[in-house]
Structure 1
Amino acid sequence: MARLYLHYSDKYDVMEDLQQELLKELERYVKHVQPLDAFQTLKMGQLYQPFIKVITCIKEHAPAFRMLLGEQGSPSFTQKVKMIFGSHILDRLSLIRKEAQDPEFQQYLQAFIASAILGVIQEWLDKGNENLTVEEMVALHFRLIRFLGNVVGTI
């Protein structure tokens, strides 16, 4: 254990390294999420594999994500996670929907998307991961999206 600490100058250095590793790994999986493909997969009643990998990554590192995203966690880490989800998905949506190219709209769409995804993940982590599997978590995300789409379709 002492050997581990020779590499770091203090506990903040350890935390910074942990955060950077988690963010890099999360981004590696998020970049494969294609919203259009995800919606097509959803329409076929299947689970979207790239998003399963995202949720699997989070579950594999659940104690660290729970600590960093929790009430006593790191606000800057939370913002970086939101940025990863929001900017990647917004970039993809901007390619397929002209409305998503409006800069003012983009700002709020990115905040909405990132907060929705992260909010569901935080709720899952707060419950200790015991009640939902990765597949159930992915299905829940898309069930929520479908529900919102249906509600909006009735307006």
Structure 2
Amino acid sequence: MDKQIADRRIRKTKKLLRDTLFELMNENSIDNITVKDLTERADLNRGTFYLHYRDIFDLLEQNETEILEEMRKLLVKINPSAFIEYNSINKPYPPLVDLFQWFKDNLSFGKALMGSNGGISFLEKIKNIVEKEFYKNQYKIQKKDNTPIFSEYYYSYIIFGFLGLIKQWFKNDASTPPKEMALILMKISLNGI
């Protein structure tokens, strides 16, 4: 069999398992999901599952890692100091729009991992990435110039506000367009409520 076809099949199978896991997580806690539940819902045999993962938690962990890496790549493109410029012309900052669009495109994982059946550990992982890639680097740059704009408390406030904003948006099925969400985040970050 052609390697490309085999690779495509593997990607397709892993995506099916991932999507099915998130579907089940929207119904039950991860602790209550079995490999049997997952494979029956995905219409795959258990052997196929075990070719790729040790257990449900391995499937979840591998997918969390992939998701967090995708998110990190989007976050490194965001420069919070550009918010001021875009806010002054009342336009959404394009990298923020991209981030919200990515969240909307991945709504099922977001609802599963950040919803009531998700764990606090995923939120902590997101917080760490946002803190590292989005705000802390900006803070360090400004600190070198001896003109820090934001304090550590403000960063913490914004990061948890961002996570709360995303959770609420997921709760509303991401019905507000990504451009509008980018504007909301910018305005709250700069002006408060």
TM-score class normalised by the smaller sequence: 0.7 to 0.9
Q: 1:17 maps to which residue?
A: 62
One-letter amino acid of the structure 1 residue matched with residue 163 of structure 2: L
Q: 1:92 aligns with which of 128, 138, 143?
A: 138
* Structure 1, 29-38 or 4-13: larger mean CA deviation: 4-13
In the comparison of the two structures, how many residue pairs are matched?
Answer: 145
Identify the residue that residue 166 of structure 2 maps to in structure 1: 121
- Largest Rg, 1 or 2: 2
Percent identity over paired residues:
21
- SS for the counterpart of 1:12 is helix
What is the Cα deviation at residue 101 of structure 1? Answer: 9.4
Q: Normalising by the residue count of structure 1, what TM-score does the alignment of the two structures yield?
A: 0.82
Deviations 1:86-121 (A, max 9, x none): 22212213322546599xx53x34321210111111
The aligned residue for residue 177 of structure 2 is 133
Does 1:66 pair with 2:111?
yes
Q: Which runs of 5+ in 1 are unaligned?
A: none
Normalization by structure 2: what TM-score? 0.67
SS in 2 for 1:35: coil
- 2:75 pairs with one of 22, 30, 42: 30
Q: Is the 8 A contact 1:35 1:93 kept in 2?
A: no
Gaps of 5+ in 2: 1-43
Take 1:91 and 1:63, find their aligned partners in 2: how far apart are those partners? 30
Once the two structures are TM-superposed, the CA of residue 127 in structure 1 deviates from its matched residue by 1.3
